[in-house]
Structure 1
Amino acid sequence: MSRRYLNLTPLPEALAAMRRAFPPSDHVETVPLCLAVGRVTAEPLYAEYSVPEVEIAKFDGYAVKSRDTPGAQDQRPLPLREYARINTGEILPPSFDAVVMVEDTWDDGGTPWIRKSAAPWQNVRHAGEDIRAGELALPKGHRIRPFDLGALATYGITRLAVRSVRIGIIPTGNDLVPLGVVPAPGQTIETNTLMAEAYLTRMGATCRRYEIVPDDPDLIRSALETALDANDLVILSAGSSAGSRDFSRDVVGALGEVIFHGIAVRPGKPVLLASVGGKPVLGMPGYPVAAQTILREVAGSLLAWWGLPALPEGELDVRLSRRLASDLGFDEFVPVSVGRVNGTCFATPHPRGGGIQMAVVRANGYIHIPAEREGIEAGEEVRVRLTVSPAEIARTLICVGVRDPTITELGNCLADAGYLLHCCKASTMGAVLALRAKTCHAASISLPETEAAWNDQVLRYLPGVDLLRVQVARTELGLASAGDLDAGNPASFRFINQPKGTAARVFLDAWLAREGIDAGIVTGYGHEVRTPAAVAAAVGNGFADAGVCPAAMAREAGLRFTPLGYETRYLLVRKELAADEGVASLVRAARSPEFEEHLRSRERCRAG
């Protein structure tokens, strides 16, 4: 029987307990140089011989005796009497102490002439100039980089000792299918171990992914024992929470000692750490973003404690674009997109949740809200841990608002101009307010085509602001239903609705008013879903009888469609930012015939 974790251990305490239980190991293995990139040196590396071993020429030219060259000038060139032709890298002949580049000479009847005297040891590389035999090439604890290979090979190092941490990663769950298999309804592609292997291998560990294990305590125990025999650390993916089929706690508890079960972190709360035979077993949450947090903050911390340094992570101090609330007592990690708007860097949060993978994919960093904070205020300075190169921030454009295929496809077009478009989801009102606060480059809004919409939802909040408005899409909305709707008997059918302020809600309210139907008596009027797709799905699945969605979605779901009006999507930019090269590129892309044709071709593909 699965047991509920009762106490959430604070993150610092959990990490301290982990370090106490699992002191650094001294496991070492020797690998050939060609396989050493990403591994961490277990001992210092010293040059086997000097480089260069003797004096050699830096350039093609002539080896000369510098004492024979004084007095050479443009007006009084001197012929070289004693010299030796020499090429780059060749040994300097005895008795010569300088090299004159061939470009600084000319040939007259087979005799080279010079216009400038040569200084002693000019254009000569001395023995040991790069490194001397026995000199330190790389220290202990250094992660080998690709460009280190050439130097180490040059210094005679062909094999090296590296720190060895072997990790076994076991996926568990009846709902999982392997990569390459199309999941049936209720199934999920197993990706957490793929992600874990990639991340931990980059830290310098050697990982092995095992086959998917069903939710069966005996099978999980057998797989765990097999992995423990071959590895220094075992990670169980999923099964560490408190569901009826979460068996990790019971299995590892029977084999060893549970150090903690549950830590005060979001996302990633249901994490398990145990000691089995003196080896750590880490139970990782099944939700992908929660798993990423545990890999980075717990597994990564253990590997760093064991001598595999954390991956380099750029940091940037920026302003938070809008307030973030957080519960006291929880360390929370929030994905954000960072962009420089009118000279100031702002971080705009993405949706939070352990299962929202695209929030992390769309982000270029994350912020840590400490457990002692209830949140962070808009405009407050925060430190962002970047997940991209800092250079990418300068070419990142932040668009806040309605995220739909037209905006994401616009990002594809913008990539050709060398810029990255980050779309941060918000309501139309949220987008307009972000534009007012000057925390984004552009706003993506959706408005019903009504007389009052532009004035009520945009201009009233941006008085006196000069705006560039680019229409990027126009969508027909209407009532989707499985059958005929009897407007004379509104109590006979159930609605599914969208939030107040959306075009769907505006058109539904207008239709109810025209039909003389009181919204208060409509079943399901207060039942809201966030997306048009959710409306079509609810009606198509029989959860509701009717709701407002786009015509294309109604057709795809095989539903009856009653037109109500059109919704237009705009890209809004403050004119004062239009001179910015990136913003100008965004506007040009949105107005370009290529973008319009791209959208038309995608629409034809969907229709086909």
Structure 2
Amino acid sequence: MEHNHDGMLRRGKAVEHMLTVRQTLLTDRSTETVALGEGINGRVLAQRIDAERDVPAFDYATMDGYALNTSDDYPLDIVDTGVFPESEPLALEEGQAIRTATGAPIPERANAVLKKEAATIEDGRLDGVTLEPGTFIYERASNVTAGETLFEAHERLSAKDATLLRDLGIETVAVHKPLSVALLATGTEIHEDRITDLDSPMVAELVQSWGHKTTYVGTVPDEYDRIEARIAELSKAFDVVMTTGGTSVGEKDYVVRALESLGRVIFHRTRVRPGKPIALAELPNATAIAVPGKPIGAHTIMTLIVRPFFTGETTLPTVHAEMTDSVNIGSEDFEYAIPVLLSGETATPLGHVDSPLSIYEMTFDPSVLSASTRATRADGFLITNNSVKKGEIVPVVPYEVVE
């Protein structure tokens, strides 16, 4: 494999590859049934869900008051009986109004609700203000129309989805079984306990927060044969093999070479810094994702490129803040994820000489910052391929939206 900048992928293209592999992996994946309230949050739907009925199934009142027809003139005769949420729909005659509770079905012919506070009653007759049709009425099918697709197959569910699902009359959903993920740390210095493995706990926490099962399977030294053999072994027992370290182009960076030998490397290295030397590969029995070994680089590439593989989500919600310092970048051919501290409406680049972590002066240094565990104290990161100036308003991705 050639190692030059021309072969590096843009972030968007790398994410496309991740999503394609995810789609293929989920297509034939076994499923299980989960009841609402028993753990659908973070699970991945196995099939599309279409509405089988209109929601609501009838017009109902959203306010306590009186149901009436807006074309009738006041005063209106009040029907003796009232309607409540448990009532069967009634019929209203011309010139009549009927006492109505919130959630009650709107009687036939009625098209508005006069709220109780606006009503005047004298001698059993109702007077009130002029209303527009539809006032205080939740109209049939205004929420959901029968036949409408509401959830796509392979969509990741959240806790709030339980509300709509139950409103559709659904009590259980078919979801894909979580992926089994082997996490293997590479590096002789780690294998021999001379350097602490800083990446594996963080990577495991991320994958588990995205709804999948992670097993830390230990370490392997920088020896090609042992790396290849261990990945091959793990690929037979797990759906995904994730490695940390050994993904660059150094003399002892053997991981990508091993993946090439065992299967097909879909891409290696992206135009994202820190974290550019990520690799994605298809093995005969598993998917392999090789993550760079520096902790901040590993976290950046996990949240920006690997996250869509596990969640299907690609959006990056942002908040806007004013930069407290100018930051230059090395090359506009790369996207830079610059960690920042948020305070009120300002963003301080963590690592800048004027921040609590002093790594660079004016030009962002992803190589050194990538190794700094103190940089994890940032609140979010700015993605840019241009230098930014002091006082500039920038979009910041808070870490909590990608973890």
TM-score by length of 2: 0.67
For the pair shown, the structure with the greater C-alpha radius of gyration is 1
Query: Structure 1 residues 309 and 104, CA, compared in 2 at 3 Å: closer, same or farther?
Result: same
* CA distance in structure 1 between the partners assigned to 2:12 and 2:134 by the alignment: 58
Query: Structure 1 residues 131 and 333, CA, compared in 2 at 3 Å: closer, same or farther?
Result: closer
Residues 1:367 and 2:367 are matched in the alignment: no
Instruction: Write the letter of the residue equivalent to 1:266.
Output: R
Alignment of 1:52-91 (within 5 A): 52-60=56-64, 66=69, 70-72=73-75, 80=78, 82-88=79-85, 90-91=87-88
Q: Is the 8 A contact 2:121 2:127 kept in 1?
A: no
**Which of these residues, 321, 332, 342, is aligned with residue 325 of structure 2?**
321
Q: Is the 8 A contact 1:264 1:331 kept in 2?
A: yes
Alignment of 1:436-515 (within 5 A): none
* CA distance in structure 2 between the partners assigned to 1:138 and 1:383 by the alignment: 33
Report the Cα offset of residue 85 of structure 1. Answer: 2.3
**Which of these residues, 318, 334, 357, is aligned with residue 373 of structure 2?**
357
Alignment of 1:23-422 (within 5 A): 23-24=20-21, 25-26=23-24, 27-28=26-27, 29=31, 31-32=33-34, 33-34=36-37, 35-39=39-43, 44-60=48-64, 66=69, 70-72=73-75, 80=78, 82-88=79-85, 90-95=87-92, 96=107, 97-98=109-110, 101=115, 103=117, 114-116=126-128, 123-139=136-152, 143-160=156-173, 166=179, 168-173=181-186, 186-188=194-196, 190=197, 192-200=199-207, 206-215=212-221, 220-221=227-228, 223-229=230-236, 231-241=238-248, 247-249=254-256, 251-258=258-265, 265-277=272-284, 279-300=286-307, 303=309, 308-314=312-318, 316=320, 321-326=325-330, 331-338=335-342, 347-350=348-351, 351=359, 352=365, 353-369=369-385, 376=387, 378-379=389-390, 381=392, 383-387=394-398
Report the Cα offset of residue 54 of structure 1. Answer: 3.3
SS in 2 for 1:213: strand
Query: Structure 1 residues 69 and 299, CA, compared in 2 at 3 Å: closer, same or farther?
Result: closer
Report the Cα offset of residue 57 of structure 1. Answer: 3.9
Q: Is the 8 A contact 1:240 1:271 kept in 2?
A: yes
Q: Deviations over 1:73-115 (max 9, x none)?
A: xxxxx763x231233464432344445655566899xx86533
Report the Cα offset of residue 291 of structure 1. Answer: 0.5
Which of structures 1 and 2 has the larger relative contact order (alpha carbons within 8 angstroms, sep 6+)? 2
**Paired residue total:** 359
Unaligned runs of 5+ in 2: 93-106, 352-358, 360-364
Q: Deviations over 1:478-534 (max 9, x none)?
A: xxxxxxxxxxxxxxxxxxxxxxxxxxxxxxxxxxxxxxxxxxxxxxxxxxxxxxxxx
Instruction: Write the letter of the residue equivalent to 2:300.
Output: T
Q: Deviations over 1:106-147 (max 9, x none)?
A: 899xx8653327867765544434323323334567543432
Match of 2:8 in 1: 11
Report the Cα offset of residue 247 of structure 1. Answer: 4.7
Unaligned runs of 5+ in 1: 73-77, 178-183, 371-375, 391-608
For structure 1, which segment, 149-158 or 139-148, has the greater mean C-alpha deviation from structure 2 after superposition?
139-148
SS in 2 for 1:168: strand
Match of 1:397 in 2: none
* CA distance in structure 2 between the partners assigned to 1:101 and 1:262 by the alignment: 63
Q: Is the 8 A contact 1:237 1:285 kept in 2?
A: yes
SS in 2 for 1:324: coil
Q: Is the 8 A contact 2:55 2:144 kept in 1?
A: yes
Report the Cα offset of residue 259 of structure 1. Answer: 5.6
Query: Structure 1 residues 187 and 347, CA, compared in 2 at 3 Å: closer, same or farther?
Result: closer
* CA distance in structure 1 between the partners assigned to 2:84 and 2:296 by the alignment: 58
* CA distance in structure 1 between the partners assigned to 2:331 and 2:153 by the alignment: 42
TM-score by length of 1: 0.47
Q: Is the 8 A contact 1:326 1:332 kept in 2?
A: no
* CA distance in structure 2 between the partners assigned to 1:125 and 1:89 by the alignment: 16
RMSD: 4.7
Instruction: Write the letter of the residue equivalent to 1:288.
Output: P
* CA distance in structure 2 between the partners assigned to 1:360 and 1:8 by the alignment: 28
SS in 2 for 1:146: coil
SS in 2 for 1:52: coil
SS in 2 for 1:358: helix
* CA distance in structure 2 between the partners assigned to 1:377 and 1:102 by the alignment: 58
* CA distance in structure 1 between the partners assigned to 2:18 and 2:343 by the alignment: 42
More helix by share: 1
For structure 1, which segment, 17-26 or 226-235, has the greater mean C-alpha deviation from structure 2 after superposition?
17-26
Match of 2:100 in 1: none
Instruction: Write the letter of the residue equivalent to 2:166.
Output: A
Instruction: Write the letter of the residue equivalent to 1:87.
Output: F
Report the Cα offset of residue 220 of structure 1. Answer: 4.7
